[in-house]
């Protein structure tokens, strides 16, 4: 997906109880931390395992939030299926930084990026139902997304067969 100049603008979204944190583009220097943060939750099936090579190849699709010491507190990524379909993936916030609104900031940043890139819709597969429903997503079903089932069937049957996981979708204004 070609880069859009507006993608380079960081977004700052104030939220209660913390100094304003900024959602930023990721750089290749962030690759080890991004892979480690994503893979922290992979054993529980909450994220798909990612190698550092995968993250490096897709670095333009990642967004992150840093602590004051520049370490990564949270991340999210877009995974394109077609010019009209993209998935929000690798949403992860360090346990010590959870419940402070970072997850919501990252979801909003990913939705904005998908909108800037021209996708009419973004979807995600997650256990975090209240979180996605509170961010303008509506619950849908995997059966409406055969591309998702086909792509991940060979990687992680556990994700598509996890009965507690839901698929959420959000329409994006043009
Ligand atoms: C999901 C996750 C990113 C949320 O990050 P966060 O920074 O805590 O999110 P926010 O503070 O913006 O929002 C938290 C709210 O989201 C909702 N929420 C978070 N996790 C949830 C879950 N597993 N199930 C249902 N609702 C959830 C709750 O309403 C929560 O409110 P609370 O803080 O009052 O309990 C974080 O818990 C995480 O990294 N989890 C492990 C990885 C994961 O499940 N990723 C999602 C894959 S798509």
**pLDDT tens, position by position, 57-98:** 999 999 999 999 999 999 999 999 989 999 999 999 999 999
Nearest CA residue ID for atom 2, ligand 1:
103
**pLDDT tens, position by position, 113-169:** 999 999 999 999 988 889 999 999 999 988 888 888 787 665 555 554 544 568 899
State the distance from the centre of ligand 1 to the C-alpha of 131, rounded, in angstroms. Answer: 6
Classify each residue of 19-33 as buried b or exposed e, where b means 16 or more C-beta atoms within 10 Å of its C-beta: eebebbbbeeebbeb
Residue-number span of the structural domain to which 125 is assigned: 5-171
Asked if the model's pLDDT at residue 13 lies above 50, the reply is no
Q: How many domains does the chain have?
A: 1
Identify the pLDDT of residue 156.
56
Q: How many CB atoms lie within 10 A of CB 92?
A: 27
CATH number at 24 reads 3.40.630.30
Residues with CB under 6 A from ligand 1: 41, 46-47, 91-93, 98-104, 124, 126-131
Greater pLDDT, 3 or 132:
132
State the distance from the centre of ligand 1 to the C-alpha of 93, rounded, in angstroms. Answer: 8
């Amino acid at each position: 997906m070609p880069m859009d100049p507006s993608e380079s603008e960081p977004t700052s979204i104030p939220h209660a109880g913390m100094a304003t944190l900024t959602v930023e583009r990721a750089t290749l220097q962030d690759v080890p931390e991004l892979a480690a943060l994503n893979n922290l939750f992979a054993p529980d099936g909450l994220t798909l395992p990612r190698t550092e090579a995968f993250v490096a190849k897709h670095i333009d699709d990642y967004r992150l939030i840093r602590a004051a010491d520049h370490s990564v507190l949270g991340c999210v990524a877009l995974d394109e299926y077609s010019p009209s379909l993209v998935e929000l993936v690798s949403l992860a916030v360090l346990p010590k930084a959870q419940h402070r609104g970072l997850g919501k900031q990252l979801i909003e940043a990913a939705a904005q990026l998908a909108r800037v890139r021209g996708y009419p819709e973004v979807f995600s597969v997650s256990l975090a139902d209240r979180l996605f429903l509170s961010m303008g997503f509506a619950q849908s079903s995997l059966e409406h997304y055969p591309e998702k089932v086909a792509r991940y069937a060979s990687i992680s049957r556990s994700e598509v067969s996890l009965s507690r996981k839901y698929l959420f979708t959000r329409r994006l204004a043009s």
